[in-house]
Amino acid sequence: MNSLSSNPLKIMLNNKEWILADGATGTNLFNMGLSSGDAPELWNKSSPKKIKKLYKDSVDAGSDLFLTNSFGGNQSRLKLHNAEKSVLELSRISAEIGREVADTSGRSVVVAGSVGPTGEIMEPIGSLSYSTAVEIFHEQAEGLKAGGVDVVWVETISAANEFEAAAEAFSLANIDWCGTMSFDTAGRTMFGITAPELVTLISKIPNKPLAFGANCGVGASDMLRTVLGFSATSNDLPIIAKGNAGIPKYSDGKIHYDGTPELMSHYATLAYDCGATIIGGCCGTTPNHLSAMRKALDGHVKGFSPKLETIVKALGDFSSISDGTDDNTPTRKRQNRRHLKI
């Protein structure tokens, strides 16, 4: 494992007030021709030029860090495409392409190896054992490490034991890591974890991440409320915010996100004010969004932590009244997006 002083991400965290991460993987690959139901990871081998473009577009837009095209590159998910024996190869290639892009960018850029959830439900609710989950995560981490990633980055996790299994696997792989959960059910993950509960969970994990936070979820407003939940704790780890570019809407046979570059630029500066250090986008976030976010952050002086009313005025209503920390039954209300006009 890299020592904290030598890890490129740790160095960047020590030297920069904020770090701009990348945007969506799926959205941008669909725009390049990926079909629904296809495994994006197979493109690492069959269409490497497109994956290189995916990475380079985010770097050219101003990202200091990007995730590899390996989110679903574990044995369980690849088995659906008869590619379960290609975990190491596909993860390695995704990282090697990323390494080339970062090393030829002319500046410091961190390559983060994306690791998504296993795709299975863990015991006692499901059938996936903790030890098997560790093996699944470990295999993929080894492939990403072999390809040259600076850190592995587990994302979109919902269950505490799956998060813990990933942390143990990364310890076995001897590589630094970051981790995010997806808070998409009235301030909670699918398995009921709140933002403060994730902080508590991390405090008990022996192998601490370099940074933690949230990705995906519902929309930009909800993401910032979650970040405020992280910031309100005594945790001193850097916080990650990778929110969706608005709310998904189905039209013309495709999923579209209603978040404009202008909205995402407001989201980025508000995320920084809320306490996030690593700020990026998730579903729907394109290079155009990233360019606007970079410009906004470059010209922004950190302000006081915003009130919820300020977030709503800038980004639109929350999807639920509750942030998950009360005893109310999780319910979502209809969206009424209100964009700030400047």
pLDDT band for position 252 (cuts 50, 70, 90): confident
Q: What are the two backbone dihedrals, phi and then psi, of residue 176, each rounded to the nearest 5 degrees?
A: -70, 160
Residue 271 predicted with pLDDT over 90:
yes
pLDDT band for position 328 (cuts 50, 70, 90): low
Q: Which has more confidence, 248 or 329?
A: 248
Q: What is the mean pLDDT of residues 141-157?
A: 98
C-alpha span between 148 and 286 (Å, rounded): 25
The answer to whether the CB of 115 falls within 8 A of the CB of 175 is no
Question: Average model confidence (pLDDT) for the chain?
Answer: 92
Task: Return the amino acid letter for 297.
Answer: L
* Residues linked to residue 279 through DSSP beta bridges, in sequence order: 20, 241
The answer to whether the CB of 70 falls within 8 A of the CB of 95 is yes
| Cis peptide upstream of residue 40 (ω within 30 degrees of 0) | no
Q: What is the mean pLDDT of residues 121-140?
A: 97
Question: Comparing C-alpha atoms, which of 74, 66, 84 is closest to residue 20?
Answer: 66
Strand-strand pairing, 110-115 and 177-181: unpaired
Strand-strand pairing, 239-243 and 211-216: parallel
Q: What is the mean pLDDT of residues 180-187?
A: 95
Residue 229 predicted with pLDDT over 80:
yes
Q: What is residue 162's three-state secondary structure?
A: helix
Task: Return the amino acid letter for 136.
Answer: I
pLDDT of residue 100: 98
User: Percent of the chain at pLDDT above 90?
Assistant: 86
Residue 248 predicted with pLDDT over 90:
no
Convert the pLDDT of each residue in 67-125 to its tens digit: 999 999 999 999 999 999 999 999 999 999 999 999 999 999 999 999 999 999 999 99
| Cis peptide upstream of residue 124 (ω within 30 degrees of 0) | yes
Residue 257 burial class via C-beta count within 10 angstroms: exposed 0-12, middle 13-18, buried 19 and up:
buried
pLDDT of residue 5: 53
Residue 2 predicted with pLDDT over 60:
no
Which two three-digit tokens encode residue 212?
Answer: 């933690």
pLDDT of residue 3: 43
Strand-strand pairing, 254-257 and 248-251: antiparallel
C-alpha span between 192 and 90 (Å, rounded): 33
pLDDT of residue 255: 74
Q: Helices 308-315 and 261-274 meet at what angle, rounded to 10?
A: 170
CA triplet 286, 290, 296: central angle to 5 degrees?
150
pLDDT band for position 327 (cuts 50, 70, 90): low
Q: What is residue 179's three-state secondary structure?
A: strand
Residue 1 predicted with pLDDT over 70:
no
Convert the pLDDT of each residue in 304-315 to its tens digit: 999 999 999 999
